[in-house]
Amino acid sequence: MKTRMKEIKEYRTAKGKIRYKTNIYLGRDEKGKPLQYRKSFKTYKEAEKACIKVLDQLENGTYWNLSQNITFKEMYEKWLKIYQLGTIKESTLATTERMIEKHVLPILGDMVLNKITVEQCQNAVFKWKNDAPKTFGKYARYTKKIFNEAKRLDYIEKSPMDKVIIPPVDCEPFKSSFYERDELKRYLEVARTYRKEAYAFFFLAGTTGLRCGELRALKWSDIDLDQGYLYVNRTYTVGLNNRNYIDSPKTKSSARMVSLPFQTVELLKEWRIFQQKETKVFSLVANRLVFNGYKNMRPSYDVPISTTTLDRWNVEIAKKAGLDHIRVHDFRGTYASLMVSSHVDTNHLKEEMGHANIKTTMDRYAKTTNDLRKADTEKFESYLPFDAQSL
């Protein structure tokens, strides 16, 4: 007969039912008081399983983690220290911090970690979807990472996020997030009369596909107007505590050479002359930013143009042009879509966009323009071996 554990005692309830209780010595607290693991079970097998688990945890030094009532926020702070050890850019870390502190911690932050239930996590996901239908999945993924780190450190045995169902992203009616060729032409015509700086910035954005941060960090030394190229080797971004700083490009493939259309080269030549006159600085042109901001209400060649200014210009120009407003970043998509419509080599487009593989380029930006749709439909019409007959 199997020997029974000395930590388990059999007893009878007031109604005469047999039950099993555990009694395991855990040590002493800071005041010297003995600590015990005491719990009742219906069967000996359940009690035995619980005892073996607690004894193993005591031997491995993990029991005290499981018994600590740390909050989700405290666990997030532990996870963040590990997260920072990776090869993560400061701007990515800052974005992640802002996202979790704005959306996740207000719901789960003050809850005791090992008391958080699947239902509470599921309700959090539903709220995130309601508040941010396009990005809620990212909140759920990072929440799961924090729980997984808690499990790795033995603060919890199971992650409640493992059983949470992540609803699909709702499909929205199709809406172009880029300008057609004629729309871009109209936009730039209005920008030209609106403000010279705006015209130069959005002309370059629409004909090179550079990211907003790359355009803001661009210097004249990065541009070869004689050969018709520019070189992307830095970006302007936001880091921890909303610190604005110059950083290396977003990814390894983002550092690249971009060819310039003739129209863009000619515009940049004009813009450089205008900028020199405006800032009244005619020396050290190579080290100056192509799109400067302002310091003490005066143009300053070493201060990047602000995103607030760009957003304001963009909204006002689109309104004057009678066009739907798209984001500044969407001029990158406009460039890519028009490049596809002009039937350029897709590998060339991938390099111009600074992507590591062609799939990223085509999945994100190879949207079909209306002109291309019409042309393809006409090709299909001429291919059909029949005409419509009257009914």
What is the model's pLDDT at position 34?
80
Q: 181-374, superfamily in CATH?
A: Intergrase catalytic core (1.10.443.10)
What is the model's pLDDT at position 386?
43
What is the model's pLDDT at position 384?
44
3-class secondary-structure state, position 196: helix
What is the model's pLDDT at position 176?
60
What are the structure tokens assigned to 184, written together? 């871009």
Name the residue with tokens 């070493």.
302
In terms of pTM, does the model score above 0.75? Answer: no
pLDDT in tens, 33-76: 787 888 899 999 999 998 998 888 888 776 766 667 789 999 99
What is the model's pLDDT at position 63?
72
The residues spanned by each domain of the chain are 8-62, 72-163, 181-374
What is the model's pLDDT at position 198?
94
Q: Is 72-163 a CATH 1.10.150.130 domain?
A: yes
What is the model's pLDDT at position 12?
92
Query: Which residues does 229 contact at the CB level (< 8 Å), separation at least 6?
Result: 223, 257, 258, 259, 260
Encode burial over 296-333: b for 16+ CB neighbours within 10 A, e otherwise. Answer: eeeebbeebbeeebbeebbebbbeebebeebebebbbb
Low-confidence spans in the chain with pLDDT less than 50: 174, 380, 384, 386-391
What is the model's pLDDT at position 5?
85
What are the structure tokens assigned to 316, written together? 């006002």
